Structure 1
Amino acid sequence: MKQRWVSIAALAAALFAINVVARLVTRLAFPDNDTAENTVSVIMFATIGVVLAAVAFTRAQRVPVGTWLPDLVAAAAIGMLLTVLVGPFVSGDYPFSGGAGNFFSQIWLYGGFAIVGTLLGYWTATMFGRDYRSKSLKAFTVAKTTKPRRVVRR
């Protein structure tokens, strides 16, 4: 149980670290450039989606979906809360400095990229037959089709 929370916290911290790096790049390299800020934000959200896709792809191969999906959802939710509530302080702002529309658009973008990334990771594992269920069904099929011949005594 403790190991489970450690992996959730580590993934949430990694997702938040991606946000911190993006905010620092925006703050230091493009201080008053809205176009560059939007570009860096999209790259940040895409990176978060790719990280979640990679984690989903990896976890889908080892354990059933019901085991890893809640952990991934919890980590993404914690990472999102850190991103929208703590992340603005890295930029020298506060969470609602851009208004409620900006705050909620960050939540929608984060959620959208997280969901799409997770689905792409899982679907890729499933497409290649590498997910836990496909492996289980293949092992079952092999076990049932390669039964040893039954010896008949007379």
Structure 2
Amino acid sequence: MYSQLLKEILLEDEYDEQQKKTLVNFCRDHYAGNNSELKIIDEFEQKYPEPSDIWWYTRECFLYRMVNKALRTQDIEVIMKMGFFIRGLHQHIEQFHSQQIYQRSLIVYRGQGMAQTEFEKIYSNKGGLLAFNSFLSTSIVRDVSSRFAHVARD
């Protein structure tokens, strides 16, 4: 219920430039000393919302890590700071999905490193409901997802 309420609040929030400034300042503090991330944060400040939320999220940078960690750990402070971005990402994914025409099922793969106990818990729920508190990056190429699983395990 709490997650649903938070989702509704986030998805109704309208984007404004001040929200971006707040997030940019927060990210600069968080990544102080990391010049490569600071450079990307500067680029985000100058260019966002272009090219798109999906483009920014799938880029190898601070955004997907912060979004996923905040959602996974239910870090409300970070979620609220990133709310406009999460909302935009959600809307673009919905829009992209609605434009797809599927003639058959689409199989996608997800690589995820996890502890054996986590895996056993999921496996024991086979056929049941599986809920996630974050966006799931997937690929239609199985080897790509395997690489992510190996990286996460290391």
TM-score of Structure 1 vs Structure 2, range by shorter chain: under 0.3
TM-score (norm 1): 0.26
Rg larger for: 1
Higher helix share: 1
Report 1 or 2 for greater relative contact order, CA contacts < 8 Å, sequence distance ≥ 6.
1
Normalised by the length of structure 2, the TM-score is 0.26
